[in-house]
Amino acid sequence: PVASKLLVLCTLSSGGLLAYAESQSNIGSPSVVDDKPDESRQKRVVVLGTGWAGTSFLKYLDASAYDVQVVSPRNYFAFTPLLPSVTCGTVEARSIVEPVRNIIKKRNGEIKFCEAECVKIDATNKSVVLRANFGTNLVGNDEFSLEYDYLIIAIGAQVNTFNTPGVKENCHFLKEVEDAQKIRTSVIDCFEMAVLPGLSEEERRRNLHFVVVGGGPTGVEFAAELHDYFQEDLVKLYPMVKDLVKITVIQSGDHILNMFDDRISSFAEKKFNRDGIDVQTGCRVVSVSDKEITMKVKSKGEVCSVPHGLVVWSTGIGTRPVVSDFMKQIGQADKRVLVTDEWLRVKGCEDVYAIGDCASITQRKIMEDISAIFKAADKDNSGTLTVGEFQDIIDDIIIRYPQMELYLRSQHVQDLKDLLKDPEGNDRTEVNIEEFKLALAQVDSQMKSLPATAQVAAQQGAYLSRCFNRREQSKENPEGPRRFKSSGHHDFRPFRYKHFGQFAPLGGEEAAAELPGDWVSIGHSTQWLWYSVYASKQVSWRTRVLVVSDWTRRFIFGRDSSRI
Ligand code: FAD
């Protein structure tokens, strides 16, 4: 009876997560607690995840219009682009995180937070099963369920080991704040071990061989950070082993930073070569043990092993189990990530949205429309259009579907550009529509894979919150903005990604940047641009001040190499 009074009290006072209170009456029982949305209440929006996508959604959402419940096993937001800096103590871990409760407190209690992990999404019953982060025995196995009217899945992705033997057990990852902190301690451990008396030179060399698997932006930035840490600080503290230190980057492709412009990739390779960082391209890691890393050199087909002191695995991302399970339920088992339409709605699932690294957009509707536009333009059924007509149609498509601009105008879509040239490279007077459709299929596959970056995630979160803010308004005006009137389109404009460029810090106060309009900037001034952009992008003034003071501290006193 006491427990049920407590439940009533909590229900009246908060109307929120009754699970905790009700659970008091269920101690020892494995049953799952239900928290049904009250019909008279506002519609409930459940947001899974407090990363870039989830936080951006919450930041712009008009929370007074909904009953908003946020669920995440981490009660903070982490500024992931600075994680490589945390691995070497250039920036402290606490300087790049902001408590979720700080972010939501500005909403006067309109947003509720629950520190738990979603273990199952049940789209049929519109509920999610959550497991509390603590071993409290709240409800049997600590699981309870929460019903939703709208579900926003923003739970990001997990590290992808490609099932390579020994990786989970013997490698470090660089995905979460805890990973970066572990690397920081392990780097110091390697140095301390290497200077212990009685070790052979071979053992010292092994301890001081740092291997980075993956030549993408994260792996390259970590290698550069580690090199700076060694050159600027550790060399003074461990002069006796300074000649034994080695950093190796293993990349399966032919170049590091291969998603960047060729100029950046080749600058990075030359710089690493000058700095003494060994870049092994065309090598695939086949297994990792506690002392050795084994790889296959693609060109020769040879397998070789090298001893290591520490391996950081940074080869890309994979699907979280809860998302894979949900994808099976909704018939997307064959996909890599959750597929949404251009309005970020999960395909084949009512009222469920997916944003950030766990989602990808398919543009099939747009592709079909574009094909129809070309067909209609080809009035004489000749299968060709003049270059002028072709350009006009491209302009028209961009006005109608602004998100196509990045792809139709981008120099990376070489196939589209090639359509305007004959095999000898001369300008054509006519464009073949079938060829165009083939090229379009290529664009389609590129569009599906928007990069898994904080920029995409944050823009998707902001876009979706604007749609939610205008939901009532759009009910009154179901045809939506004038541009879509009677075109049969959704009430809102589709999501349009705007690319603001990408940085690659390369160490030694030098960075490279690919900026909009295919601009490339490399050097010391780009590093200063990097400092200003990342300082300005911090989520709060508190973290901004902490990050800038960490950078200043590092300039004056160097990095702190204590093992704590
Ligand atoms: P995340 O930010 O990963 O957030 C996922 C959230 O979901 C977290 O709060 C997590 O706790 C929560 N969660 C996880 N599982 C569950 C569950 N079962 N139930 C409920 N909640 C759950 N991008 C850039 O644009 N620029 C960069 O410079 C850059 N640098 C990077 C450096 C590093 C080291 C890393 C790892 C990534 C970097 N990225 C960068 C990529 C960027 O961090 C991701 O694209 C971005 O974090 C994706 O945002 P998200 O919200 O989808 O996922």
Banded pLDDT at 10 (limits 50, 70, 90): very low
Tokens encoding 25: 């009456």
Write the pLDDT tens digit of every residue in 354-378. 999 999 876 566 667 777 777 788 7
Output the CA 157–ligand 1 centroid distance in Å: 7
Residue 27 clears pLDDT 60, i.e. is over it: no
Q: Which long-range contacts (CB under 8 A, 24 or more apart) does 507-515 make?
A: 507/223, 507/224, 507/225, 507/227, 507/228, 507/271, 507/275, 508/224, 508/227, 508/228, 508/271, 508/275, 510/271, 512/257, 512/260, 512/264, 512/267, 512/268, 514/260, 514/261, 514/264
Structural domains in the chain, sorted by start: 1-157+319-362+450-478 (3.50.50.100), 167-318+500-557 (3.50.50.100), 363-449 (1.10.238)
User: Is 51's C-beta closer than 6 angstroms to any atom of ligand 1?
Assistant: yes
Segment holding 259, helix H or strand E: none
Closest ligand 1 atom, CA of 52?
Answer: 51
Decide if 94 contacts 101 (C-beta within 8 A).
Answer: no
Output the CA 98–ligand 1 centroid distance in Å: 14
pTM of the model: 0.81
User: Is 250's C-beta closer than 6 angstroms to any atom of ligand 1?
Assistant: no
Output the CA 390–ligand 1 centroid distance in Å: 40
Residue 4 clears pLDDT 50, i.e. is over it: no
pLDDT at 19: 34
Atom 30 in ligand 1: residue holding the nearest Cα: 81
User: Is 452's C-beta closer than 6 angstroms to any atom of ligand 1?
Assistant: yes
User: Is 145's C-beta closer than 6 angstroms to any atom of ligand 1?
Assistant: no
Atom 31 in ligand 1: residue holding the nearest Cα: 81
Closest ligand 1 atom, CA of 157?
Answer: 3
Write the pLDDT tens digit of every residue in 155-175. 999 999 999 999 999 999 999
User: Is 455's C-beta closer than 6 angstroms to any atom of ligand 1?
Assistant: yes
Closest ligand 1 atom, CA of 81?
Answer: 30
Write the pLDDT tens digit of every residue in 58-114. 999 998 889 999 999 999 999 999 999 999 999 999 999 999 999 988 776 689 999
User: Is 494's C-beta closer than 6 angstroms to any atom of ligand 1?
Assistant: no
User: Is 54's C-beta closer than 6 angstroms to any atom of ligand 1?
Assistant: yes
- If one compares 506 and 386, the residue with the highest pLDDT of the two is 506
Q: Which of 221, 68, 198, 486 lies closest to 60 in space, CA to CA?
A: 68
Residue 135 clears pLDDT 70, i.e. is over it: no
Residue 93, sorted as left (phi over 0), alpha (psi -120 to 50) or beta, turns out to be: alpha
pLDDT at 109: 65
User: Is 216's C-beta closer than 6 angstroms to any atom of ligand 1?
Assistant: no
User: Is 117's C-beta closer than 6 angstroms to any atom of ligand 1?
Assistant: yes
